[in-house]
Copies of this chain bind each other. A is one copy, B any other.
Amino acid sequence: MIVNMSDSATEQQIEHIIQRIREAGFQPHVTRGTERTIVAAVGSGGRRHEIEALSVAPGVDTVVAIAQPFKLVSRQTRPQLSVVEVGAARVRIGGPEVVVIAGPCSVESREQLLETAHGVKRAGANMLRGGAYKPRTSPYEFQGLGVEALKILREARELTGLPVVTEVMSTEDVDLICEYADMLQVGARNMQNFALLRRLATIKKPILLKRGPSATVKEWLLAAEYLLSGGNDQVALCERGIKTFETATRNTFDLSAVALAKELSHLPVVADPSHGTGKQSLIGAVSRAAIAVGADAIIVEVHPCPERALSDGPQSLDLPQFERVMRGLSEPLRSVLTPSQMLA
């Protein structure tokens, strides 16, 4: 941490900062410039927030943090990449191959889910997604079938062998969902629901942690830090788009953040092109891009009849579309123009 004094700071004010840095458990280190003085807080055992609060002490201009605030999720702490294993099938997210998770936004009925589960399996998916408890913007929208949906998901897993991931919205539902699902999803709107994160840190199931729509990569990693520091290191991050001024896509799919998260952290990263774009027609292209940029898995919404879906119809693929997207994933990248193709 660096405390940057203002041009007009007095000796007494500088002295006060030096003393406060000592109180906070750091060593102060003063650099006097021609115009201004900076005081560094050196050491690793001190209390960071006490230094941050000095930004309002007299004579202080700004306080700048140097070190990253996360620890256990950091690749500096654990250089080896983590792999998250899901379900009895031991699907490995973060292994050499890309994992494809597919299924409807919401479980709407037994028929709908089983048809989808069989269909996505046939097309090559490795895991099944489906919402039982739905976070809906309006109280008048479909809120999910709850425990009935969980039972249907379990049946689908038994029939197809695909491990199941489903969202948990409340601490009170954690135990119940753990009985049925192989992986629990923290939705984007709950990324900073710290009560939920603390509870999920104590369970033995892997977590899919979606990035909040206005969360920076740093905040996202700190949310994961809640899980790891609480005892659960079976965590996969999931980029699903952030909220920006652009409304032509539902969110702005931040694929650079996938590469950045993998640079900063050892945790595997999943990409969600369905929420990332909100548009059926773009999902094939951005799924390929997500894999190219380094995502360890993609999670895609598929519905037997998107125009009849109770939620997220506009971004859901039907089964033939999903099959085409899957085939697209194995096509080579377009090649670069070579000198022989240019005029002399």
Residues of chain A at the chain B interface (Cβ within 8 Å): 2, 4, 7, 20, 27, 29, 31-36, 38, 40, 42-44, 48-50, 52-57, 61-62, 64, 66-67, 69-71, 76, 88-92, 95-100, 124, 126, 135-142, 161, 169-173, 189-190, 192-196, 212-214, 216-219, 222, 225-226, 229-230, 242-249, 252-257, 259-260, 263, 276-277, 279-282, 285-286, 288-294, 306-311, 313-314, 316, 326, 329-339, 341-344
Contact = CB atoms under 8 A, between A and B. Distances in A.
Contact of A248 (B76, B216, B342): B216
A246 to B, nearest CB: 5
B230 A246 contact: no
Contacts of A33: 27, 29, 40, 42-44
Contact of A334 (B98, B229, B331): B98
B337 A307 contact: no
B281 A263 contact: yes
B34 A44 contact: yes
Nearest to A216: B246
Contacts of A313: 49, 52-56
B282 A292 contact: no
A251 B333 CA distance: 25
Given A248-B217, A256-B252, A306-B53, A38 B40 contact: yes
Interface centre among A61, A254, A310, A338 (most CB of B within 10 A): A254
Nearest to A341: B97
Per assembly, the copies of the chain total: 4
Contact of A31 (B34, B35, B42): B42
A7 to B, nearest CB: 6
A309 to B, nearest CB: 5
8 contacts: A49-B310, A56-B280, A70-B138, A126-B342, A216-B245, A242-B252, A243-B245, A330-B335
Interface centre among A48, A89, A140, A339 (most CB of B within 10 A): A140
Contacts of A343: 88-90
A326 B55 CA distance: 23
Nearest to A334: B98
A139 B289 contact: no
A184 B77 CA distance: 39
Contacts of A56: 280, 306-307, 313-314, 316
A330 B337 contact: no
A113 B195 CA distance: 25
